[in-house]
Chain A
Amino acid sequence: GENVEQHPSTLSVQEGDSAVIKCTYSDSASNYFPWYKQELGKRPQLIIDIRSNVGEKKDQRIAVTLNKTAKHFSLHITETQPEDSAVYFCAAKGGANNLFFGTGTRLTVIP
């Protein structure tokens, strides 16, 4: 089955700086890559997703890049704000049609 690895597990940045979280996947059949943000005690919220026919997607301060050849994808958050502090999960969905999640990155934005 699919194996998704996510790094780093924790990340601290100063407010206004950028944050980058990286994920790799193993199944070349995977074709959908969402990112979820989970605040303490709350449900995972989809923040951005990308399909394998696209290399990059941007939504305001958030962007995701995908390198199918290397089987890795990354989340980029620019101009970070304290409310960006949360746990971020990457995921991959392939032939099996279910999501495989990374282990999460706890992002702390220091005011």
Chain B
Amino acid sequence: KAGVTQTPRYLIKTRGQQVTLSCSPISGHRSVSWYQQTPGQGLQFLFEYFSETQRNKGNFPGRFSGRQFSNSRSEMNVSTLELGDSALYLCASSVLLDQTQYFGPGTRLLVL
């Protein structure tokens, strides 16, 4: 089976812009979680989607949002970008909630 894929892999934006990142889970996986990885804060949970519904949300401002489509693909959006949003954004998929999560390669976002 193909692994989790994320697009784009690299992105450069300027402050105030918005960005949309995409995640395609492993075939048959219905749960997608998003994480932000930075050197200072480590890996932090953003949100989790299952069957097109957000099931859980981390402690991030409302500028961070997401959605899941009927084919389990997920997108996350960050509006009004700030310098501190520069990070590696990872998504992970699992068959169901409370199952082993497998990570994608990440999207590296640089905000200038």
Q: Which residues on A are within 8 Å of B, measured CB to CB?
A: 32, 34, 36, 42-46, 49, 89, 91, 93, 96-104
Q: Is the interface of B mostly helix, strand, loop or mixed?
A: strand
- A99, B98: Cβ atoms under 8 Å? no
Contact with A along B69-107 (1 / 0, CB 8 A): 000000000000000000000100000011011111110
Partner of B103, one of A43, A96, A103: A43
Find the B residue at minimum CB distance from A44. B103
User: Please, which residues of chain B bring their CB within 8 A of the CB of A45?
Assistant: 103
Q: Are B98 and A100 in contact (CB under 8 A)?
A: no
Q: Are B101 and A34 within 8 A (Cβ)?
A: yes
**B64 contacts partner chain A, Cβ-Cβ < 8 Å:** no
- 13 example contacts (A-B, Cβ-Cβ < 8 A) are as follows A36-B103, A42-B105, A44-B43, A46-B100, A46-B101, A49-B100, A89-B42, A91-B43, A97-B56, A98-B56, A98-B58, A99-B35, A99-B45
Which residues on the A side are within 8 Å of B98 (C-beta)?
A: 32, 93, 97
